[in-house]
Homo-oligomer: A and B are copies of this chain.
Amino acid sequence: MDKKLDSKVIHPVAVIHTEFPEKFGIPRQSGLVSSLRGKILFEPEYRSMDAIRGIEEYSYLWLLWDFSKAKKENISLTVTPPRLGGKVRKGVFAARSPFRPNGIGLSSVKLEEVYLDEKEGPVLIVSGADLMDKTPIYDIKPYLPYTDSHPEAKGSFGEEHKEDSIPVDFPEELLLRLPEDLRESACEVLAQDPRAAYNKKPEYVYGMAFSGYDIRFTVEDQVLHVKDVVHTLDGHCTKVKG
């Protein structure tokens, strides 16, 4: 029983491009911000329409991916979910924390579009992704509702807090600095309140990197006020939409 089981080496099959060059602001689960788009590009050895033949018969996909920015030397057996204020400890296997053994994330995303790019090969455009830009993906599977969907499942604390959102005050002159196709997503992402539950400082100016822009905001009396939108010059400009 105590014989050590074999480890194995896994390789990314694809990479996703999203509007989030940093962790801050990424929705806490997939599907919470449905207007967000992600663009999946395959690694060279899978860059063939054969590898995705028939994928358009499905409306959702599973992504298995790398929690690439959540590395820790020692994985703790317990974690403190942000939705519980960061104060209550739960077992790592009873939470979806990124700080977990093997660091593999699981997200269901909606398949919006499939096309073949002459240079990049097959491209999957998905929505609702909760992944950082350039996240390596280890597997893509079709979502099968007859085996994957359990609407009656008990969801514990996540369920109670899923609708949590705060009003967003985004002055029009600042909103107009964002490209038109990013405005709705930006508002929806901010309404999720990107601040960590244990790090809510009144008057502090938070900065969220979003598709080449830095969106700066404060939260006062449970209202999020956007204070500035700055185009960043660091060259991050992965264009996900259109």
Contact = CB atoms under 8 A, between A and B. Distances in A.
B159 A102 contact: no
Contact of A90 (B6, B54, B91): B54
Contact of A92 (B10, B51, B101): B51
A55 B154 contact: no
Given A59-B154, A60-B153, A94-B54, A13 B102 contact: yes
Given A53-B89, A104-B10, A139-B104, A48 B32 contact: no
A30 B78 CA distance: 28
Contacts of A103: 8
Contacts of A66: 8
Given A58-B156, A138-B104, A156-B58, A93 B51 contact: yes
Contacts of A2: 44
Using C-beta atoms within 8 Å of the partner chain, give the interface range for chain A.
35 or more
A206 B139 CA distance: 34
Given A10-B8, A101-B11, A147 B51 contact: no
Contacts of A143: 150, 153, 155
Contact of A96 (B41, B95, B108, B144): B144
Contact of A157 (B57, B102, B150): B57
A143 B15 CA distance: 25
A160 to B, nearest CB: 10
A52 interface: yes
A60 B148 CA distance: 10
Interface in A41-68: 41, 43-44, 46, 48-55, 57-60, 62, 64, 66
Interchain residue pairs A-B with the least CB separation, the first 5: A57-B156, A29-B147, A53-B91, A55-B94, A5-B12
Interface of A: 1-2, 4-13, 15, 29-32, 41, 43-44, 46, 48-55, 57-60, 62, 64, 66, 77-78, 89-96, 100-104, 106-108, 120, 136, 138-159, 162
18 contacts: A4-B43, A5-B43, A7-B12, A13-B102, A29-B147, A50-B77, A51-B77, A51-B78, A54-B156, A60-B154, A62-B106, A64-B102, A94-B142, A108-B147, A145-B152, A145-B154, A146-B159, A146-B162
